[in-house]
Chains A and B, each alone.
Chain A
Amino acid sequence: MSTVAQGNVIAVMGDFKDPNKVTAAAKGIHEAGFTKFDIYTPYPVHGLEKAMGMPKTSLPKFALAGALFGLASAFALQWWTGAFEYKLNIGGKPLFAPQFGTPVFFELTVLCTGLTVFFTMFGYLCRLPNWHSKYQYDSGFQAATDDNFCVVLEADDPRFTTETAQALLAKFGAADVRIVHETLEHD
């Protein structure tokens, strides 16, 4: 695929071949005060998120909320069905008791936590489903699925100018530093 019509500048990109160099570059870019930048790598690089200065994920808070909801619903379900709405005497056991309730407390807590984590992570935190990326026509970006570590400084960043971005990437030894335009049309 090649681009046939271009729009505004959306980013400056640079390529790396060495995960250690890309980690160093991430640290330098973060220290230079950039906030809107991303790094695309062929595999997860340990310590990269720390070098980029990414905040801790908010996923545990969602997980806790899901867990408490699951626990409460398990309690309500068992109490309401067994001891309130339709009282059933089974083997002379109490209509509701935490002893026999516990396996269901546990199961529904785990189920709700798991589902909450799954949908929060993929649907909200990872912004899926997302069928395209605005960089996808860049050959260096495409190579990030193979052997390329691609650093993208986005134009949305308040500190972004093409000159500063290019200078910053060149400083950390990026190859093929290039200005990327919005793709309006392609064949």
Chain B
Amino acid sequence: MNTVIIADSSFVQKLRMYSLIALGVGALGLAGAAVFDMGRFLQAYLLGYTYFAGITIVSMFFSSLQFLVNAGWSALVRRIPEIFAGFLPVVLIGLIPMLVDVWTSHKLYHWADPQLYVPGPHFDEVLASKHAFLNPTFFTVRLAIYALIWFVTYRLIIGNSFKQDESTTDYTPTRTNMKRSAPFVLLFAMSLTFAGFDLVMSLDPHWFSTMFGVYFFAGNFVSTLSLIAIFIVNLRRQGHLKGITDEHYHDIGKFMFAFTVFWTYITFSQYFLIWYGNLPEETLFFILRAHGNWQFLGYALVFGHFIVPFVTLLTQNNKRNPAVLIGVGCWILFMHFIDLSFIILPNFSPTLRIGWQEITGWLFFAGLFFFMVTRQLATRSIVAVNDPYLKESLELVS
């Protein structure tokens, strides 16, 4: 089969235009934030960065997962997350401001302040006991390891998947990918968990929670699925992904539904155990977030991140309805922003504060993300045309 490249379509042109507008507005906003308040700039930057870095890494995971389990239904869908993974260069370069902060200003990561570890008025006993893990050198080494894992995965698995497009007879790339994805899925679990600890959880270095890694994963995964759903519905509507049927909508809808429930399960488990255990080193996270007006975001998450998508995606007809899928997808992506805000921002402000800085920080990364997506769409086929499972996916009946 011939590759399907939609470089000059109106879909890509529109996406490029909107992404450049978002990028421009976001860059202006972030620059403004940096001029007024460097700390606020870093918070907004971290929020936008985490949002899209999470989607990128999970996209690579989604693709490897399909190889690992020899999934047939997803052969038509799989190329979309692989195109999202093209954002990886920005993800790797984007780690630099966090490193700079750790080594210089400590506005974001206050545990990096060396004053906390010398006996004196600033000495912090809890952080001193965590010093072997939370110190700038080891932090840098760890980020370098994650970057290496993600880079190698992109080259070995996603790159290999693109290589399959070149040959209709030689299935070595697909076969190799089935083997390579097994260790990556393990490395992915470790790297995303620890990246969550380092980049997000260590904003509140006194806090203990064993659930945080999987909580971070669950939110990222459900939002990645939503973004994939939005893309395949739009691409089919524009006449580009002709093989996609309501059956694929149904399957991706089931996935979104399942991981909405998974997110709820994990989020509640973390909250429930901390609430019941009532130990000071754990409750400090929720004391900040369950009092004052941050609690409204918490209620918003219960209703918006759980009840709304749960009830909407419950029926079969809704999962197969493209308009509903797009609506719920956008809603989940919005709630993921609220979720990350709820995790990150209360560390810096005791009262509810989401301003233009955070929104433009998100817009900046959204613009950059979708611009990178259009760059991928310019050269990559949106269908894995020589995938041995493509026929099975075309004939899918769920």
Contact = CB atoms under 8 A, between A and B. Distances in A.
B315 A102 contact: no
Contacts of A46: 397
A102 B272 contact: yes
Size category of the A interface is: under 10
Nearest to B317: A56
B268 interface: yes
Contact of A99 (B272, B315, B397): B272
B275 interface: yes
A60 interface: yes
B276 A100 contact: yes
A47 interface: yes
Interface in A76-110: 91, 93, 99-100, 102-103
A27 to B, nearest CB: 16
Nearest to A46: B397
Contacts of B272: 99-100, 102-103
B1 to A, nearest CB: 26
Interface in A29-58: 46-47
Nearest to A56: B316
Nearest to A92: B278
Interface string B273-294: 0011010000000000000000
Contact of B268 (A60, A91, A93, A102): A102
A102 B315 CA distance: 23
Nearest to B276: A100
Contacts of A99: 271-272, 275-276
A151 to B, nearest CB: 23
Nearest to A64: B314
A75 to B, nearest CB: 16
A5 B275 CA distance: 74
Contact of A47 (B268, B315, B397): B397
A186 B147 CA distance: 79
B268 to A, nearest CB: 6
A100 B276 CA distance: 8
A82 to B, nearest CB: 15
Nearest to B275: A99
Contacts of A47: 397
Interface string A91-135: 101000001101100000000000000000000000000000000
A47 B395 CA distance: 13
B113 to A, nearest CB: 35
A178 B290 CA distance: 74
A60 B315 contact: yes
Contacts of B315: 60
A15 B275 CA distance: 65
Contacts of B276: 93, 99-100
B274 to A, nearest CB: 10
A48 to B, nearest CB: 12
Contacts of B271: 99
A178 B278 CA distance: 75
A25 B275 CA distance: 61
B331 to A, nearest CB: 22
Point out which of A93, A99, A100, A103 has the most chain B C-beta atoms below 10 A from its C-beta.
Answer: A99
B110 to A, nearest CB: 30
Contacts of A103: 272
A47 B247 CA distance: 14
A47 B397 CA distance: 9
A91 B271 CA distance: 18
Nearest to A60: B315
Nearest to A91: B278
Nearest to B268: A102
A100 B272 CA distance: 7
A170 B157 CA distance: 56
A100 B397 CA distance: 41
Nearest to A103: B272
A91 B272 CA distance: 15
A49 B275 CA distance: 50
A69 B275 CA distance: 27
Interface string A7-39: 000000000000000000000000000000000
Contacts of B278: 91
A100 B271 CA distance: 11
Interface in B343-377: none
Interface of A: 46-47, 60, 91, 93, 99-100, 102-103
6 A-B pairs with least C-beta separation: A99-B275, A99-B272, A102-B268, A100-B276, A46-B397, A102-B272
Interface of B: 268, 271-272, 275-276, 278, 315, 397
15 contacts: A46-B397, A47-B397, A60-B315, A91-B278, A93-B276, A99-B271, A99-B272, A99-B275, A99-B276, A100-B272, A100-B275, A100-B276, A102-B268, A102-B272, A103-B272
Given A91-B278, A100-B272, 6 more contacts: A47-B397, A60-B315, A93-B276, A99-B271, A100-B276, A103-B272
